[in-house]
């Protein structure tokens, strides 16, 4: 364990506060240390796995259209309609 700790990247400067870093990144004052380029697709994979387990079976997901191709119930759970008044925030 001690050997592995020496191979981890070091953050220079002040102590790393994940929440503060995120807020400062939103304000454009720092670069976010939790890249959405990585966490977005990774979260998508985890959620699709949970969906497949919950519904029981295999799902076929089209990454381009972001739809489940072989299960209408699963596809409906991916993109529920927004609540009234929130439609503007759901546009890509």
Model confidence pLDDT, tens digit, residues 45-89: 999 999 999 999 899 999 898 899 999 999 988 877 888 999 888
Map residue 26 onto helix, strand or coil: helix
pTM: 0.55
pLDDT of residue 1: 59
Residue 44 has pLDDT above 80, yes or no: yes
| β-strand partners of 61 | 68
pLDDT of residue 72: 92
Rounded to 5 degrees, what angle do the CA atoms 76, 77, 81 make? 70
């Amino acid at each position: 364990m001690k050997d592995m700790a020496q191979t981890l990247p070091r953050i220079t400067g002040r102590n790393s506060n994940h929440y503060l870093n995120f807020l400062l990144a939103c304000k454009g004052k720092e670069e976010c240390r939790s890249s959405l380029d990585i966490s977005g697709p990774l979260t998508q994979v985890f959620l699709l796995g949970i969906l497949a387990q919950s519904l029981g079976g295999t799902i076929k997901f089209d990454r381009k259209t972001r739809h489940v191709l072989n299960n209408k119930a699963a596809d409906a759970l991916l993109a529920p309609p927004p609540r009234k008044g929130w439609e503007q925030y759901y546009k890509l």
